[in-house]
Amino acid sequence: MILQLFTDFGADGPYVGQMTAVLLRHAPNIPVVSMLADAPTGNVRASAYLLAALAQDLPRDHVVVAVVDPGVGSDERLPCILNADDRWFVGPGNGLCAIVARRARHCRWWRITWQPPRLSATFHGRDLFAPVAAMLARGEAPLGVPIPPPTPGHDWPDDLSEVIYVDHFGNAMTGLRAGSLPSCASLGVAGCRADRIRTFADMAPGQLAWLENSLGLAELVVNRGRASAIRGIGVGAYVTIER
């Protein structure tokens, strides 16, 4: 059993540390890992595809606290628990877990009804989602009522033809699963064409191409360079599939 954090809080600020402290206080014998701290800020849709890719190989019973929550403190979204193929996700019902749920064989949803003694209007990740996740990790039943799947995200495509994340190396992950693309497909982005390669050494230095990354996503890369340095390649950039 491991508790995992998926947030857009950033690694350098205080927020991941505060959530980690709460998780360890409520579940002191369970390791806490930051799956990702720099999901696209406030971008729920891009983060949903990224979360699904990162979570696809998690063992059963792992608990993920997933927080990209621009509507925190409002009535726009429900605080939710999702069980998807025996893996737990706790966070806002704003579409963040919609792609995880869609790709699961079996899933169940709950609206969180438990309330902490103190609930900040702007930090539900620390005060609400982290304690509930810790309780699940301890083996307790979901503290909520069963609900139908939340509607946010239900109309999003199965694969997203956009850049959803730029990593430390400047590689640009897309929301397209590489296995869904024709083997000979090229990708168009920011006025450039990227042909498919297997690994970085298969192209000349400075050349833009795409490959299947370790998460199974189509990723735009430049050998010995940064795809993100090409003007127009960043989170939200539209990607076309060419043959």
CATH number at 75 reads 3.40.50.10790
Query: Sheet holding 192-196: strands in order across?
Result: 160-166, 172-177, 217-222, 208-212, 192-196, 186-189, 239-242
Question: What does 128-186 look like in DSSP terms, one character per residue?
Answer: IIHHHHHHHHTTPPPSEEEEPPPSTTTTS-SSEEEEEEE-TT--EEEEEEGGGS-TT-E
Q: Determine the pLDDT at residue 114.
A: 96
Return the percentage of the chain with pLDDT > 70, whole number: 100
Query: Rounded mean pLDDT of 54-77?
Result: 93
- Other C-beta atoms within 10 Å of 114: how many? 13
Q: Determine the pLDDT at residue 6.
A: 98
Question: What mean pLDDT value characterizes the chain?
Answer: 96
216: which 2 tokens? 């199974």
153-172 per-residue burial string, b: 16 or more CB within 10 A, e: under 16: beebeebbbbbbbbeeebbb
Query: Rounded mean pLDDT of 32-48?
Result: 97
Question: Model confidence over 138-150: pLDDT tens digits?
Answer: 999 999 999 999 9
Asked if residue 47 is part of any domain, the answer here is yes
CATH number at 183 reads 2.40.30.90
User: Is 11 a residue whose pLDDT tops 90?
Assistant: no
Question: Model confidence over 96-140: pLDDT tens digits?
Answer: 999 999 999 999 999 999 999 999 999 999 999 999 999 999 999
- The reply to whether 178 and 136 lie within a common domain is no
Domain boundary pick from 86, 116, 147: 147
Q: Determine the pLDDT at residue 193.
A: 95
Domain boundary pick from 147, 172, 201: 147
Domain housing 186: 160-242
> What DSSP character marks residue 93?
S
Confidence of residue 76 (pLDDT cuts 50, 70, 90): confident
Q: What is the CA radius of gyration of the chain?
A: 19
In 3D space, the residue among 167, 91, 168 whose CA is nearest the CA of residue 126 turns out to be 91
Domain boundary pick from 109, 126, 147: 147
Confidence of residue 207 (pLDDT cuts 50, 70, 90): very high
Domain total in the chain? 2
